[in-house]
A = this chain, B = another copy of it.
Amino acid sequence: MIEYYDVSGCYILRPWSYSIWESIKDFFDKEIKKMGIENTYFPLFVSEKALTKEKDHVEGFAPEVAWVTRSGDSQLEEPIAIRPTSETVMYPIFSKWIRGHRDLPLRINQWCNVVRWEFKHPTPFIRSREFLWQEGHTAFATKDEADVEVHQILELYRRVYEELLAVPVIKGVKSEVEKFAGGLYTTTVEAFIPATGRGVQGATSHCLGQNFAKMFEIFFEDENRERKMVWQNSWGLTTRTIGVMVMVHGDNKGLVLPPRVAPIQVVVIPVPFKGIDPSDECLKVTRQLQEAGFRVKDDLRDNYSPGWKYSHWELKGVPLRIEIGPRDIEKKQVRVVRRDLEDKTEGRSQDIPMADLAVKIGEILETMQKALLEKAREEHDSCIVVAENWDDFMTALNNKKMVLAPWCDEVEVEESVKARTKGEAGAAKTLCMPFEQDTLPMVSNTIAEGTKCFASGKPAKKWALWGRSY
């Protein structure tokens, strides 16, 4: 999937992982285009003046900004920053482009790289100093329109995780501490890695309110010729998605790729026996499935045994393998083996008549896609623990769980929870305050009167989901 590199915190996306990013891009790009959002490209570089214009925003990002100070052998007159995100790149231009109400909504997106020179331990896909993402930036005449879009985009992010990557997520809103620097509120899809007991922010959709509009002077004249400030959103989805998928589905044999994003969905492997080589039959089956629209590869290499090839493609996570031996040819069938089920589990391997192949493969892939999500969701949900007091909270946390706890929603209390849980495994923080949803062990995010905050003992305002996190 990745290759290490000699600049610390940077990784190489090999074709195997990059093609998953391409699947995600294709899906998301089509969906936002349907919504009327257009793609653009803004520069990699930001002047110091623009970058430092919004105080909260620059405080949030300044420590991680990489600066170019030299070209060839010449010092630049002024150092130039590399974008950590593009609010400060785009919004000076928004103020030029937006004049009247007919220029609204302005809705653009770009697919690009950004750089955050983080000092936290870098982790492939999850935290790298350069990463790829899309960033959407939109401006509206009213807060209502902005609010609607925040949730439309969040729903697309949920679909990327659940429908494409088969990774369950919880939708919610970030706390004041965790929200986007300079924004009004941040919504998120939060994933969880059971193996490590850590939450991971899947993607965020921010309502920026009018804060940037004020700083960058983004005004418009409304229908009544009154000068008004726009309402803005920004939202982003990164290559981190791939890492989350890898960690959620991987097993002790290697990767497990959901069929919808797998670069190769089916690998066809000949199993020679008593001098009979089924390679021609494999070629035929491969062609037949490719024509039916599947992503298929045959592995006819003569310097590896079938067993070696099984392991090789299991390690790479290919959803299905088809084995063809002389007896299969006789019986006009192939053996199909699913990557996601353990050896000897029922349904892992089945003999499929050649005649039905394309239809059956389609069904099995669809079944597997669903099964992966279900299995992941079961595991995910078993990692949510409700705690109403500090001791239960700590027990759950140390058992590598997410903790759903009644909370007073005060910045100081979140900071104090962070301080009290600091340790080798890292501090706990709020992952989000979940929106009402029936997949959690509670049905509503309104809280019974008299409930106390698990940490401060003050009156609780919301259920918050806490955990250690990447």
Contacts and interface: CB of A to CB of B under 8 A. Distances in A.
Interface of A: 3, 5-7, 10-15, 18-19, 21-22, 38-47, 49-50, 62-73, 79-80, 82, 92-93, 96-97, 102, 108, 112-113, 115, 117, 130, 132, 301, 303
Nearest to A14: B40
Contacts of A65: 71-72
Contact of A66 (B38, B40, B71): B71
Given A19-B39, A41-B12, A66 B68 contact: yes
Give me the 7 closest cross-chain CB pairs, A-B, nearest first: A71-B117, A15-B38, A10-B43, A63-B72, A13-B41, A67-B70, A7-B45
Contacts of A82: 68
Contact of A79 (B10, B45, B70): B70
Given A45-B130, A113-B112, A80 B7 contact: yes
A132 B12 contact: no
A452 B459 CA distance: 96
Contacts of A41: 12-13, 18, 21, 132
Given A113-B44, A117-B71, A39 B10 contact: no
A62 B67 CA distance: 18
B6 A42 contact: no
A97 B113 CA distance: 25
Contacts of A303: 102
Contact of A68 (B18, B62, B67): B67
Contacts of A11: 43
Contacts of A102: 301, 303
Given A3-B93, A96-B3, A130-B45, A40 B13 contact: yes
17 contacts: A3-B96, A5-B43, A6-B50, A7-B46, A12-B93, A13-B42, A15-B38, A15-B108, A18-B39, A44-B113, A64-B71, A64-B72, A65-B72, A66-B70, A66-B71, A67-B68, A67-B71
A10 B18 CA distance: 27
Contacts of A72: 62-65, 117
B38 A19 contact: yes
A93 to B, nearest CB: 6
A63 B71 CA distance: 7
Given A15-B38, A71-B65, A43 B93 contact: no
Contacts of A115: 44
A5 B90 CA distance: 10
Contacts of A44: 10, 113, 115, 130
Nearest to A41: B13
Nearest to A115: B44
B80 A43 contact: no
A70 B62 CA distance: 12
Nearest to A131: B41
A49 B19 CA distance: 30
